[in-house]
Structure 1
Amino acid sequence: MRAGRDWLKGPEPWSRRVLAGDLTIAGVLALLGLGADELSNSSGPKMLLGALAVVALVLLRRRLPAATLVLGAAASAFLPAVFLVTIVLGWSAGRRIVGVGRALVAFVLAFLASVGLTLVDQWALMRPLLTVVFTTLLFLAATVMPGLASRYWHQRRTLLSALQERNDRLVRERTMVAGQARLRERQRIAQDMHDSLGHQLALISVHTGALEVDPSLTDRQREAVGVLRQASVAAMHELREVVGILRDGVEAPAPAEEAQPAARGVAGIAGIVEAARAAGTDVRLGTAGRPRPLVAACDHAAYRIVQEALTNAYKHAPGAAIAVELRYEDDSLVVEIANGPAAERGSGEVVSGGQGLTGLRERARLVGGMVHAGATEDGGFRVAGVLPYGTEPAGLVEEVPDDFGQRSQARALALRGAPKAAPPMDWAALDRELAVPVRSRAGGVAMGCGIAVAAVVLLVIVLGAGAVLLLGSANKAMISREDYDAVHVGEFEQDVRKRLPDGDSVLTSGMERKGPPQPEGADCFALLSAEDSRMTTDTVFRFCFRDGKLVEKQAYEVEQ
């Protein structure tokens, strides 16, 4: 049972939803087919056979698209109920038959089966040429056009899917190449920093350590040298950490025997303020409000703001008093550092990279805060930062243009507060960012509606052409009862034919043979009554000629 079901559904996934949809389509088409059978006065067994054929063809179309197309076209010649299902079979075959040659062969065989069997079934009632033309138009409208539309739609989806897959692969490869290039550049920068700054800081640490034990120094000088040595050691620790982040993307652990740097958060601000006081700078620290904990990134940003502001005050306003204030507001922490004008002009050139305040603003922005810096009215300088309590650090976003004008966002690592074991690149997140729908549902519905409207318009044109042909044939095939009574046996054939239509119509084909036996050796033709025709029967007027004269005329009823 299961093996038969697997064979029936073929290579496509056949869920309960798909099965329910197929059964619904089969049921609707079977009901419409029963209505067509009722209009054509089909017998009960023929109606049952047509309904079963519709259900079987709809369920088998996924597994055997070419075979069901040919069988459906052949069955539509004898079973009116199967005609509507050829639309579904044409759509399915156009999508599922692999290869243009195989699809062409399947549609040609279906056309030949439809036309040939229709000729066999209607040979006694219709003219062959008219049958071929009308059947061809119906086949084009009901089978070929849905097949072409389905094939175009499926090929377009396949092409878009292939292009999207290639685009995703190119973007991932480009991102990987860019990541490797950044990693190489970071390693180069890390090596340069280690070789240059590390060497200079090591020299400072060694010389200050030697000076600290020099007996010729006073206690004040020895204290100042100790501060310098501690600053150089802390700078070496920070340099090692930065180098580790640049090289590996994670913080580099310090050796166990070395002293750990001071806490880099709000708790560490008091330490750098005390270090500044020990160096002889007038620094005051004030706190307002109830202290509240901050997330790691905001806590670290507060420490860096105070550190950078103090460094700027040392360089640009030596000897000036500095006030550091921490205000715990309802929704944020305000860090304010203000200094007065320089007490004395510093000697020597001030070394500054000009990027300190810019870096502070960027650091605050990444955690959802802001930094303001500017001169005060008394000639001093003020730096103020506003940092939220609970905002997580925002990830750095890099936009990489792809080959199709789209933008794929690749999330880089967070700031220093990220977990130590975080990888340098999250490919799963990158794939989710790159996931773009192949097609929109609205676009597919619009295309399907357009195809359906086009098919209906073509079918209406075909039916209209057929109605026009039938109307023209009716004018050549009908006379009134008065015209029939006006014709008398014994009149010359030439005179009778002048007064009557020629009877060359599909409506009267074969009618002359359905009445009483024809006179021997006579040539007869039949016309329909314009008044006496009913829903189930037609009144036929037959005229028979022999030796150039009318030898018999008959009026009889024929079932439709």
Structure 2
Amino acid sequence: MLAADLALAAGVALLGLGVEELDSGGPVRMALGAAAVFPLVLLRRRLPAATLVAAAAVGPFLPGTVLVTLPLGWSAGRRIVGAGRALAAFVLAFLASVGFGVLEQWSGMRPLLVVVFTTLMFLVTTVMPGLASRYWSQRRTLLQALQERNRQLLRERAMVAGQARLRERQRIAQDMHDSLGHQLALISVHTGALEVDPELTDRQREAVGVLRQASVSAMHELREAVGILRDGVEAPAPVEEAHPAARGVAGIAGIVEAARSAGTDVRLGTAGTPRPLAAACDHAAYRIVQEALTNAYKHAPGAAIAVELRYEDDSLVVEVANGPAPAAAAGAVVSGGQGLTGLRERARLVGGMVHAGATGDGGFRIAGVLPYGAEPAGAEDAADDFGQQERGLAGGPPMDWAAVDRELAVRGRSRAGGLALGCGIAVAAVVALLIVFAAMIALFIGSANNAMISRADYDRVRVGDSEQSVRDRLPDGDSFLTDGLDRKGPPRPGGSECLALMSVDDSDFGTDTVFRFCFKDGKLVDKQSYEAEH
């Protein structure tokens, strides 16, 4: 920040030296102007009003500081708190600029021209940057406030949505616990009692034991699912389970062995070098085999089942195929109709896919392809419980696309309004500059008409003519162009009053031809023609 301010001050000071050179300023005035620029620029952030008024006050005496009002006006418009204070600072700076300008130019120009010229310059170099800066600052502050409010609304919406999801999950968990828990408990109790029935054969008792173990495992799985629904985290494996059910590839052998114990012809095959999978992919492989075996039990009871795990270069292929059913299943088959849909969705969320279809021999085949990687695919467009999309940002609130659209619309309108206002300010600045240039041209032409004559006019005037007749034929010389020219030539006659005019026929750059007429006692007593430097 300091380096930028120093660079800005150096640039303004360098331009100010050029202004001083055009105004024929001496070395002392150039040094004072350059020295005044640096503290004004460096203090404009801490003291915006004071530096603005100070620059307006010293500007008429040090023309080299005229350009510093541009950054000072910008800082004052942006940093002065309160419209009343800003207006007071700009009005005070304007009065200082006009007052000291009239005071400094009182002897060389008409006060009205000084007031008009100073007012136009103040509008262009100070008021326009101040208005533009204040508008830009207020617009940025308003936009930041709107963005913060939008973020707060999104956070509040996320909290409300999270609470709603939690209540819905707790309701689902309670329903599952009350309905399925009761039924599974009854199954476990009855199969436990049936297992010790002395009238059962060993094979029947073994089958009943498999059913009881399945009901116990289902109870534990239900307990874990209920815990996840209630708390949002996976519950640890229950300690009372003698053989905890693995939820990954390692557990596939267990469910295959359980199916064999129940009398189903199931074969498990593995190809390739086993590789570790991400937790979600590992669990998906287990669920694919579990759902495929369940489908085979329901739709093709007694059919042989082949389970195969193939570790490919970039993915694990899980394939479960069963042959045609030896006989039609007795009774209606109870099916929820969502098993394969759930498998496809589970595989899609981990970047894989599931294919299911009939085989040529009348059987059925389910195959899943699961990547080894841990990055879930499609998470960025996964829908939440309310059917709205969420951004895949860790810990971030859900993206409210409607709010984003509204914000973009507001920004579009604000940009259009800002563009219109900016164009208005630019047009006003251009108009003001044109007025200033026109006033400067008019001032220069008027001053030139009051300050210049031709060589022929000079020659027609004779020493000894009356002062009144000479003044009637010559301009009055009331111009800043002739200020001090009467003192640059040869010595003036004692007690005389002189009129100095410039020649319209000058062709040399850097010097002016001056015609001086000196009067005493109502007559022209001397006239001189000489060269004077600018």
The 2-side partners of 1:118 and 1:408 are apart by 65
Does residue 224 (structure 1) correspond to residue 207 (structure 2)? The answer is yes
1:72 aligns with 2:55: yes
Amino acid corresponding to residue 454 of structure 2 in structure 1: S
Per-residue deviation, 1:479: 1.8
SS in 1 for 2:365: strand
For the structure 1 residues 458 and 146, does the alpha-carbon distance in structure 2 shift closer, same or farther, using more than 3 Å as the test?
farther
What is the 5 A alignment of 1:460-475? 461=434, 464-465=437-438, 466-471=440-445, 473-475=447-449
Helix, strand or coil at the partner of 1:484: helix
2:391 corresponds in structure 1 to 409
Residue 517 to residue 307, structure 1, CA distance change in 2 (3 Å):
farther
Q: 1:538 to 1:453 in 2, by over 3 A?
A: farther
Match of 1:258 among 241, 246, 256: 241
Conserved in 2, the CA contact under 8 Å of 1:65 and 1:89? Answer: yes
The residue type paired with residue 444 of structure 2 is L
Match in the other structure for 1:301: 284
> Superposed, which structure 2 residues align to 1:287-436 within 5 Å?
287-393=270-376, 396-397=379-380, 409=391, 411=393, 426=395
**1:366–1:395: 8 Å Cα contact kept in structure 2?**
yes
What does residue range 135-534 of structure 1 map to in structure 2 within 5 Å? 135-393=118-376, 396-397=379-380, 409=391, 411=393, 426=395, 457=430, 461=434, 464-465=437-438, 466-471=440-445, 473-488=447-462, 507-508=481-482, 516=492, 527-532=501-506
Q: Is the 8 A contact 1:518 1:544 kept in 2?
A: no
Residue pair 1:94, 1:146 contacting (<8 A) in 2 also = yes
Q: Give the direction of change, closer, same or farther, for the CA distance of 1:40–1:498 in structure 2 (3 Å limit).
A: closer
Pairwise CA distance, 1:389: 1.6
User: SS state of the match for residue 146, structure 2?
Assistant: helix
Pairwise CA distance, 1:141: 1.0
User: Per the alignment, do residues 125 and 498 of structure 1 end up closer, same or farther by CA in structure 2, a change over 3 Å counting?
Assistant: closer
> Which residue identity does 1:529 align to in structure 2?
S
Deviates more, 1:20-29 or 1:134-143: 20-29
> Are 2:527 and 1:554 aligned?
yes
* Distance in 2, Cα, partners of 1:407 & 1:514: 86
Give the match's secondary structure for 2:502. strand
Query: Quick check: 470-479 or 259-268, which moved more?
Result: 470-479
> What's 1:56 paired with?
39
| Uncovered stretches (5+) of structure 2, i.e. residues with no partner | none
The CA RMSD measured in Å over matched residues stands at 3.7
Distance of 1:214 and 1:407 partners within structure 2 = 56
Using the alignment, how far apart are the partners of 1:380 and 1:131 within structure 2? 104
The offset of 1:259, in angstroms, is 2.7
Partners of 2:515 and 2:528 within 8 A in 1: yes
Instruction: With the length of structure 1 as denominator, give the TM-score of the two structures.
Output: 0.81
Deviations 1:179-205 (A, max 9, x none): 011011101111111111011000000
Q: Would the aligned equivalents of 1:400 and 1:409 in 2 still touch at CA under 8 Å?
A: no
Q: Which moved more, 1:189-198 or 1:484-493?
A: 484-493
Stretches of structure 1 that go unaligned for 5 or more consecutive residues are 1-17, 413-425
Give secondary structure in 2 for the equivalent of 1:378.
Answer: coil
- Pairwise CA distance, 1:270: 1.4
Are 2:514 and 1:539 equivalent residues in the alignment?
yes
The one-character-per-residue Cα deviations of 1:15-59 (angstroms, maximum 9, x if unpaired) are: xxx111112212222222233333333333333222221111111
One-letter amino acid of the counterpart of residue 74, structure 1: A
Judge which range, 210-219 or 472-481, deviates more. Answer: 472-481
Instruction: Tell me: CA distance 1:313–1:552, structure 2 relative to 1, closer, same or farther (3 Å).
Output: farther
Q: Identity of counterpart residues, as a percentage?
A: 70
Deviations 1:47-88 (A, max 9, x none): 322222111111111111100000011111111221111111
Of stretches 111-120 and 276-285 in structure 1, the one that deviates more from structure 2 is 276-285
Cα offset for 1:283? Answer: 1.7
- Residue 106 of structure 1 corresponds to which residue in structure 2? 89
Superposed structure 1 runs of 4+ greater than 6 Å apart:
398-401, 434-437, 449-456, 489-499, 509-515, 517-520, 543-547
Residue deviations 1:387-421 (CA, integer Å, cap 9, x gap)? 112334469557899xxxx9872657xxxxxxxxx
CA distance in 2, matches of 1:101, 1:384: 76
1:337-367 deviations in Å (ceiling 9; x for gaps):
1122332222222222222112111211222
CA, structure 1 residues 556+125, in 2 after alignment: closer, same or farther (shift >3 Å)?
A: farther
Q: Could you list the per-position Cα deviations for residues 213-244 of structure 1 after superposition, in whole angstroms to 9, with x for gaps in the alignment?
A: 10111122111111111110110110001000
What's the secondary structure of 2:391's corresponding residue? Answer: strand
Inter-partner Cα distance in structure 2 for 1:360 and 1:285: 20
Match of residue 83, structure 1, among 37, 47, 66? 66
Structure 2 vs 1, CA of residues 485 and 60 (structure 1 numbering), >3 Å: closer, same or farther? same
- Give the 3-state SS of the residue equivalent to 1:83 in structure 2: helix
How many Å separate the matches in 2 of 1:479 and 1:407? 85
Counterpart residue type for residue 117 of structure 2: F
User: TM-score, normalising length from structure 2?
Assistant: 0.85
1:126 to 109, 114, 138: 109
